[in-house]
Structure 1
């Protein structure tokens, strides 16, 4: 059997992660049947699954990375709609653009909860979970920093700190919205998106030409 090139291996892992993202978002867990199903959807023989993902946790981490990459693509696609707006409109539109890019959705909450539960049950898996969470945050933070840069404002906070605060507050607010019984597709109408997030963006930045206030 011809050995797969690194590109072929990465492509196969990506297709499995994409199929797993759909299957796991429905509330499932990694089982032999799920592995068979996602392998079929990805066009990969089930016996090749373990050659690509040695453990279930490694597969879940790849799915989580896929979630972050999808969000980054959606947010970058929405950045072009911010041009030509005045400062007040810009902050509100940027908040809505972030929400519509869905940095987290119900499926992502389910998948991340499953991964964290597995780590709690098996402390040896905690290190790989933390590494996956860092990669997830770094991917999303990079795009939020791009969003902040589109505001025609100068950062008054360190950009990485601002991005982290936005993402963590967004996640907590989104979970509260869903747990309260609201439709996740309406989160862009929530008070967090319409009021809190524009305020955060305003306080983390200053209009170009103004002196930024240092944050300790």
Structure 2
């Protein structure tokens, strides 16, 4: 019985031409419009509508004027004011120079500064250096932290109350109002700018 020969199959030639230049231009323009223009515009509008304060920098207004942001610390001085934690951001709390000091705890320069600051705070608040919380003598990672710990505020209550002619209970109530709860994660914190503004507004 004769065998039948199977003709060899012909492979389809591969398309090596690729897309046209026009389709590449269309894809590039479409991607730019969707990802570079439309998406940022939509997210900005939604953020402004849902979280207007945060979208505008969490600005704090007092007397009809913007006096700062709830997210950025400010330098305070004088017996009447609570003092925030030190800044590592160059000149005061300059947002353009936000950074940590990146100094290790064993660094002699950091140890010298902390010891000097601890001695100055101890004299100012009338407490022993061992009573000073670490946040009052160390900068945050950004160098712009506007908060101090409730313990850092507590050792300043007597000085501020005395300078303002208020009772310690009145100043403690203001501290409590400016304390932000961290919830389940983190620690409670006191916004120094909000606290000082509240004290200035109290007559």
- Which TM-score band applies after superposition, normalised by the shorter structure? under 0.3
TM-score, normalised with respect to structure 2:
0.23
The structure that is strand-richer by fraction is 2
TM-score, normalised with respect to structure 1:
0.22
The structure that is helix-richer by fraction is 1
Greater Rg, structure 1 or structure 2?
Answer: 2
